[in-house]
Structure 1
Amino acid sequence: MIGVDAGGGDRLALGVLTQYRMATTEQMHRVIAPSVRIEQTRRRLTRLRAEALVDRITLPQAGRTRVWFPTAYGVQLASEWPEMRGHRPSRTVSDPTAVRLKAGHTLTVTETALAFLEDARRHGDLFRPLDWIPEVHHPIGSGEAVIPDALLYYRRGPADGDNGAMLRAFVEVDRATMGPERLAAKLPAYERLYRYVPAVPGRRPTLQDPVLEEWRRRYPLFPRVLFVLDGTGPAGVENRISALRAGAGLLAPSRFLHDVPVLAASLADLLQHSPSAPVWRPVHDPDPDQRVPWTDSGHRQT
């Protein structure tokens, strides 16, 4: 029946858990129903658990925080929905041991999503919970791929004066679990993705039928790249941004950094000031004091 949304809240809750992989009770409340009492979110999650769609673990080292995740049945059901097709997570998303071992990183990614989501709500921008898509696979040849922590779809509101521009971003959340050099090594992978043209057996490109870069099949513009830094203090953040800048310097002959904004900011700054504030450091800018909003129009692609 048109106009009936029976189970709409349950559907969103299961969709978010399936797409985000996991979330705490508080995070789920902030994502799906921030305007109601958190007890309603707890009851909803308990009901979904009774229906074998979601389950939970408890993290004793985090004040006995409950972390919710989808069951295999929940993933199977949600993956059939039109808004979820093509984004099915791995099987380990429903394994309690895997959830426990991945909780530190994945919950930080979810907290990053919430920073953008709550900022969009404040500004009247269009960014819904399912517009944050973790771990989208992008091949770059030789069996390798770029898999960002999340792909972000974001439309600015009319108050921004740019007719509601659509923005896309690859988001990399770094918790300082790897050295700065390994973090910077992600830049060449994105540069490879920017210029990667898949080989088509038996086909030669012509002026009338050129072979285009793989990413153009998905995006009208290459998404900007956002590095969100956590797990370290101000000095550690500076070290990691310096490493990213050094890595960017090695890509100098490429058009990638000329055409695509690559920005870095600490998660602490996003939470304190908001993602739309001028807290982002362009990794290709030699000025260490330069800070911009991530929504700045920096694309020069054609």
Structure 2
Amino acid sequence: MTNTDAGGGDRLALAVLTQYRMGTTQQLHRVLAPRVRIEQTRRRLAKLRAEGLVDRVTLPQAGRLRAWFPTAYGVRVALEWPELHGRRPPRLVSDPVAARLRAGHTLAVTETALAFLEDARRRRETCLPLDWIPEVHHPIGNSEAVIPDALLYYDSGNAMLRAFVEVDRATMGPERLAAKLTAYARLHRYIPGPTPGRRPHINAHSTQEVWRQRYPLFPRLLFVLDGTGPTGINNRISALCALKSNPAVNNLLLHVPALAAPLTDLREQGPTAPIWRPIRDPAQHVGWTHTLHP
């Protein structure tokens, strides 16, 4: 029996690791307790490891970073809590070797989360650690699904904003990145058909796009680009923009803000700075809360 529930800080640490999948000591400190000494975060993580709830791997980068991830036991404990109610169990890392092989992308996603969390703190807006939800499953038929790297909830004080976030580290070609935009266009218009062999039952949900059952508005799309220089960034944005000729994508872009920005700019300037380039008009530079003009 774990004594994690005895400390709110321990509970939040395990919940964050379960939801984010992985984070370095420094990243977790910035998420959980940036105003205290980092030694307190180190002790908390060591305690959770001794209880069998989390584990770690040492990465070969300069400084030999430690990346932490939840164990199967830790995930079982955390998913019983109300704050994680309804979350799909994350894809578990089976051992430190598997964790090391997945670390690059997962840590980049965690770093992207931090850009929004820290900017919200500076601006006195609301974006809490568990408002960043990786890998939310959205079916689009034929056993296919759109699974963004993260779903972001953000309360600006004037509006509740939602965003699907895709973090691309240049490990796939520009065309494969752009194909994600096509998948979001499918989700935007997807209405599930009747179950084969069953008599159709008409109700309000069966005649509307399935995303409307979850969101009042379709979340905006944020493509965060990393792992390449300015030329590579431009090539990737050009590949996204080229899909405007696709009627379904064009319809999506008429109704949903879709923006792209380098992760380096996100870190250095924050997401509300005019660092984002709209896919509809990449000559512009706007903040991520940019609203489409009629």
> In the TM superposition, what is the alpha-carbon distance from 1:6 to its structure 2 partner?
3.9
> In the TM superposition, what is the alpha-carbon distance from 1:88 to its structure 2 partner?
3.4
Gaps of at least 5 residues in structure 1 are: 158-163
Say if 2:188 and 2:218, in contact at 8 Å, map to a contact too: yes
Is residue 2:135 matched to residue 1:135? Answer: yes
Residue matched to 2:113: 113
Is residue 2:14 matched to residue 1:18? Answer: no
CA distance in 2, matches of 1:42, 1:205: 55
Say if 1:22 and 1:69, in contact at 8 Å, map to a contact too: yes
Residue matched to 1:211: 207
Residue matched to 1:58: 58
TM-score, structure 1 normalization = 0.90
Residue matched to 2:7: 7
Is residue 2:255 matched to residue 1:259? Answer: yes
Counterparts in 2 of 1:30 and 1:194: CA distance versus 1, 3 Å: same
Residue matched to 1:161: none
Residue matched to 2:236: 240
Say if 1:21 and 1:89, in contact at 8 Å, map to a contact too: no
Counterparts in 2 of 1:50 and 1:299: CA distance versus 1, 3 Å: farther
Q: Deviations over 1:168-207 (max 9, x none)?
A: 000000000000011111111000000101113422547x
CA distance in 2, matches of 1:239, 1:92: 34
Amino acid at match of 1:291: H
CA distance in 2, matches of 1:209, 1:106: 35
Counterparts in 2 of 1:124 and 1:253: CA distance versus 1, 3 Å: closer
3-state SS of paired residue (1:255): helix
Counterparts in 2 of 1:87 and 1:253: CA distance versus 1, 3 Å: closer
Is residue 2:177 matched to residue 1:180? Answer: no
Gaps of at least 5 residues in structure 2 are: none
TM-score, structure 2 normalization = 0.93
Q: Choose which of 285, 290, 294 in structure 2 pairs with 1:291.
A: 285
> In the TM superposition, what is the alpha-carbon distance from 1:83 to its structure 2 partner?
1.2
Counterparts in 2 of 1:253 and 1:28: CA distance versus 1, 3 Å: closer
Residue matched to 1:166: 160
Q: Choose which of 265, 275, 278 in structure 1 pairs with 2:274.
A: 278
3-state SS of paired residue (1:105): helix
Aligned sequence identity (%):
69
Q: Deviations over 1:26-59 (max 9, x none)?
A: 0000000000000000011011111111111101
Residue matched to 2:246: 250
> What number of residue pairs does the alignment pair up?
287
